[in-house]
Amino acid sequence: MAEPPPLQVAGPSSGPVEGVVLHLDEPLSFWGGLDAATGEVIDRHHPQSGQSVAGRVLVMHSGRGSSSGSSALLEAVRCGTAPAAIVMVEPDAIVALGAIVADELYGRPLPVVLANEAELAKLRTGDQVCIERDGSVRRIDAAL
């Protein structure tokens, strides 16, 4: 099987997306781990528990847990609490599906981008970044 593309999911009209990084120290299950009404991480075992993913460029190594994560992510898009983009190392069907259906159903693309381990490690919480159309991640301003 061929390697997945760097730009895993984006809408056809998706332009560059800018946002501030929230780097998760552990993967997050969007279902059971995210309150779609508020965008808050509610997984009480998670290091970033209590933080909000809304509008952030969410950086996490891989997906986790429940199949319902796709539904939770879609509902977060509808509620306006979803991340602006998601950057991952491992391609993940559950995350991809939430983003695909957000585009198909509401025409609201949520770019899901793949990066390698080294690139991921450079993205720190608070960094201002831009997700380009080709899926590359450009840092605009590093966090202090």
Partner 1 sequence: MTLHLTDDDVRRLDGGDGPAVRLAMRVVVRLAEALGAEELLDISAAHVDSCLYHGRAPLDFAERLAVDGATVVVPTTLNVSSLDLLHPDLYRGDPEEGDLARRLMDAYVGMGCRPTWTCAPYQLEERPAFGEQVAWAESNAIAFANSVLGARTDRYGDFVDICAAVTGRAPAAGLHLDENRRATVVFRVEELTPGLQGNSLLPNVLGTLIGSVVGNRVPVVDGLPDPPDEDWLKALGAAAASAGSVGMFHVVGATPEAPTLEAALGGHQPAEVVVVTLDDLRRTRDRLNTARLDGGTGDALATVSLGTPHYSVTEFGRFVEALGDRRVHPGVDVYISTGRGILDEIEERGWAEGLRSAGVTIVTDTCTYVTPILEDTTGPAMTDSAKWAYYAPGNLGVDVVFGSTRECAESAVAGRVVLDETIWTRGSHDG
Minimum CB distance to partner 1, residue 39 (Å)? 13
Q: Of the candidates 83, 98, 111, 135, which one interacts with partner 1 according to CB under 8 A?
A: 98
Stretch that binds partner 1, among 14-22, 76-84, 122-130, 131-139 (CB under 8 A): 76-84
Stretch that binds partner 1, among 13-21, 40-48, 123-131, 135-143 (CB under 8 A): 40-48
Nearer to partner 1, 117 or 144 (CB): 117
**What b/e readout covers 63-83, taking b as 16+ CB neighbours within 10 angstroms?**
bbeeeebbbbbbbbbeeebbb
CA–CA distance, 16 with 4 (Å, rounded to integer)? 20
Quick check: 44 binds partner 1 (CB under 8 A)?
Answer: yes
Count of chain residues binding partner 1 (CB under 8 A): 49
Contact 131, 85 (CB under 8 A): yes
CA–CA distance, 68 with 78 (Å, rounded to integer)? 16
The SS3 of residue 122 is helix
Write down the catalytic residue from 52, 66, 71, 136. Answer: 66
Catalytic residues: 66
